[in-house]
Amino acid sequence: MRDNSRIVITDKVFGYVLLMPALSVFCLIILYPLLNSVFMSFTDWSLLRRDWNFIYFDNYVRILNDPNFFQVLTNTLIFVAGSVLLPATLGLIWAVTLNEKFRFSELLRGVTLVNWIIPSTCIGFLWMWIFNGEYGVLNGYLRAVGLIDENINFLGQTQTAMMVVILARTWQLLPWYMAFIIGGLQGVSTEQTEAARIDGANNWGVFRFVVFPELLPVLSLVLMLGTISALQHFDLIWVMTSGGPARATTTLAIEVYRNAFSNWNLGLAASVGVIWILVLVFASYFYIRRNMRDVD
């Protein structure tokens, strides 16, 4: 006898079957560590001992009562603002320049993209060499032209350390912004720019009233993605300053690492991490909301 019974799989069930591998990876790599971090934030978990206890909101109270934590938040906001606005502005200027068809413009695009593929660690060492207080290239140049008599320890002063880190991050990110903005410029209608010139608009008028409005969707996208990336950034700051001097460049990412692997206090590190996640969620909300609006 032949069994003619069949297993009927509906489209809905088949969709769940296709979803399961990705969902399993998501739960294993993202959801479980996230929930475990939230759980650890309510404990006194430490790498120095085997037992732990629930302390509920004590870690959060300790963080909010620590005056250094508000400095960390301020440093994070300064780093995010500087490492997003500065490379975005320079990337916009450079993209508009390279979008003009002139000799070697394609070569300059390729050269500009080189530092995007260099690892952050290498970029950190490069800029440490430039701004080194003893044998740095910048100090050597300033002394050669007579602008200074003694070397300046740029990375060792609270007034200049964050500026140097932002400059290094700007040098790293400028190609990324340039590439996105050039892609947006390719979509600007040439008919509109030609019509504006016929109406008597100069270069600034064409950019302000024709090109810039067309670029706004691209600019808002890269600014939001850049903000989310800056909130998570760790390696360049750690290589260049390790959060110093005097916590002048300590951001939320550095604070989590320091509490976990310098002070061995995983519970406190998890609490800072949860606050860090809330800040990221706040920034990501606008990105997701914008994408959903575009879909609608």
* 61-116 pLDDT tens trace: 999 999 899 999 999 999 999 999 999 999 999 998 988 878 888 888 888 888 88
235 in a structural domain: yes
5 in a structural domain: no
Spatial CA neighbour of 194 closest among 212, 219, 211, 214: 211
| Number of domains within the chain | 1
Residue 259 burial class via C-beta count within 10 angstroms: exposed 0-12, middle 13-18, buried 19 and up:
buried
Does the structure show a pLDDT above 70 at 295? no
Alpha-carbon gap, residue 183 to 123, rounded angstroms: 26
33 in a structural domain: no
At residue 193, the pLDDT reads: 83
10 in a structural domain: no
Range of 89's domain?
67-295
Q: Measured in whole angstroms, how far is the alpha carbon of residue 8 from the centre of its chain?
A: 48
Alpha-carbon gap, residue 123 to 115, rounded angstroms: 8
DSSP states along 165-203 = HHHHHHHHHHHHHHHHHHHHHHTS-HHHHHHHHHTT--H
pLDDT band at 48 (very low <50, low <70, confident <90, very high): confident
CB 116 within 8 A of CB 87: no
User: Per the confidence metrics, is the pTM higher than 0.95?
Assistant: no
9 in a structural domain: no
Q: What is the mean pLDDT of the chain?
A: 88
23 in a structural domain: no
CATH code at 103?
1.10.3720.10
26 in a structural domain: no
Scan for tokens 């609006």, then name that residue.
Answer: 293
106 in a structural domain: yes
Report residue 277 as tokens.
């996640």
Between 13 and 242, name the one with better pLDDT: 242
